[in-house]
Amino acid sequence: MMFPFSYFLFFFTLVLGIIISISSPSWFGAWIGLELNLLSFIPLITLKMNSYLSEAALKYFLVQALGSALLISSSLFFISFLFFGSLCVLSALLLKLGAAPFYFWFPQVMKGLMWPQAFFLASVQKLAPLALLSFLTLNSKVILIVSLSAVMSALTGALGGLNLMNLREIIAFSSINHLSWMLMAISINDTLWILYYTIYFLVLLSIVSTFHKIKASSISNILQSSRANSSNKLSISLSLFSLGGLPPLTGFIPKWVLIQVMLNLHLFATLFFLLFSSLLTLYYYLRILTPFILLFNPLMSTNMKNKHSMSTNHLFSSSIYFNLIGILFPIYPIFF
């Protein structure tokens, strides 16, 4: 189910809030943009009136309101306690991002959303806090705290996704794990996190659109869905492997660039935790892929209705081509 045309006003104000936050010369203007973004996203969550969406909207509103209150109250400390004020702003932004140690709300909210809203929460809603966070990384102590949060987010995203069956929760913990790489990229260079965010946005779009197309909410739904034909399964496989950063797919490009930069900066301990967590995330991606790859019978695909194959043709092609960019166009050397 897509958003009705009448909701495009909320899309406009949501994007406008992001633009105001990023381009604002003061923290007060950034706070206004974040509030506009929050109030625009709540109606998009409650598109259908049911208990799951209402609960998710309430949880999201309370957590984001807490982060906004902490952000605006930190202005009191900037006059006399500059570092403490920066620490309060940093905590508020990490809370809004759902990064460790403030990740507790993110999987619960994701679990109650539909796939389009879940995609917005895991990608679009992170853009403004990430951009504001990059403005704070001028102090060595702030960079140290951001790096510590990145390590905790990497381990939390990797360990939290184990033994889960709900696909939205798995994507939520995967988002927390990818957020750790973006936090490390922010502490190093703005270009790195923009590159990582862009590729993560497109890879996540390919996997979420496929899950939305086949109406899958758990691993068992993929096996039972009549829409999960061979093209959709191939698209899901490539997208998940690319999301996990498996070389030489597209999702490996930003990780390879960041690995090279971290090696040059001798950040070996932090890099170890990031790589270890990526291996764990690949494990629970394989838990999704293994059942329907082993149980899939190619002969059954000839009995599928033509409308399924035709309706997934464009989605299948775009997802395949994008996730194979890493193979078709070896562009990695241009970053060094």
pLDDT at residue 305, as a whole number:
45
Average pLDDT for residues 136-147, to the nearest whole number? 89
The CA R_g of the chain, rounded to the nearest whole Å, is 20
pLDDT at residue 131, as a whole number:
95
More confident residue, 168 or 77: 168
> In Å, how far are 65, 120, 164, 170, 285 from 58, measured between CA atoms?
10, 17, 24, 21, 30
pLDDT at residue 308, as a whole number:
43
Q: How far apart are CA 142 and CA 140, in angstroms?
A: 5
- Worst-scoring range by mean pLDDT, 65-74, 205-214, 226-235? 226-235
Average pLDDT, the chain: 84
Record the pTM: 0.89
Q: List residues bridging with 166 in a β-sheet.
A: 218
pLDDT at residue 146, as a whole number:
95
Q: How far apart are CA 18 and CA 9, in angstroms?
A: 14
DSSP 227: T
pLDDT at residue 311, as a whole number:
44
pLDDT at 43 over 60: yes
Please give the helix or strand (H or E) that residue 220 lies within, else none: helix 219-224
Distance of alpha carbon 281 from the chain centroid: 14
Domain coordinates of the chain in residue numbers?
Answer: 5-335
Tens-place pLDDT, residues 126-138: 999 999 999 988 8
pLDDT at residue 12, as a whole number:
93
